[in-house]
Amino acid sequence: MAENKDFVETFLKLKAIFKPYAKKLVVVHDTDTNYYLDTKYVMKNKHRLFFGAVRMGKAYVSFHLMPAYAFRDLPESMSPELKKHMQGKSCFNFKKVDPKLFKELAGITRIGFEKFHDAKFLEKITR
């Protein structure tokens, strides 16, 4: 099945976007179809803050990035092409690898990681 092969490649490329941050986050799930990361910070509700995930579904591969929801300036800085892949406020759906969009998504992930580790933000969510 060609689509399944595309999905596997897409999943692996999207997962690679998170790899530089994995050692500074908590890997909750790491399977062939689900890669899920939390921050190490515990919020007021005693749960860790969700950072992001990649999930392979039946119709597409989803890339979830919580900083896109938490910081309004992130989606505002996205290209119209990347916004077309958004579903909701923090999810991006892909059926195949798109190097240009994945590079943009990697940049947004880096900015989101930095924002999630900003002292003022952490103080706000942990106290």
What tens digit of pLDDT does each residue of 7-28 get? 999 999 999 999 999 999 999 9
- How many independent structural domains does the chain possess? 1
Full DSSP string of the chain: -HHHHHHHHHHHHHHHHHGGGGGGSEEEEESSSEEEEEEEEE-TTSSEEEEEEEEE-SS-EEEEEHHHHH-THHHHTS-HHHHTTEETTTEEEESS--HHHHHHHHHHHHHHHHHHT-HHHHHHHH-
Domain limits for position 69? 2-126
Task: With cut-offs at 50, 70 and 90, classify the pLDDT of residue 1.
Answer: very low
The share of the chain scoring above pLDDT 90, in percent, equals 71
> Is pLDDT of 96 > 70?
yes
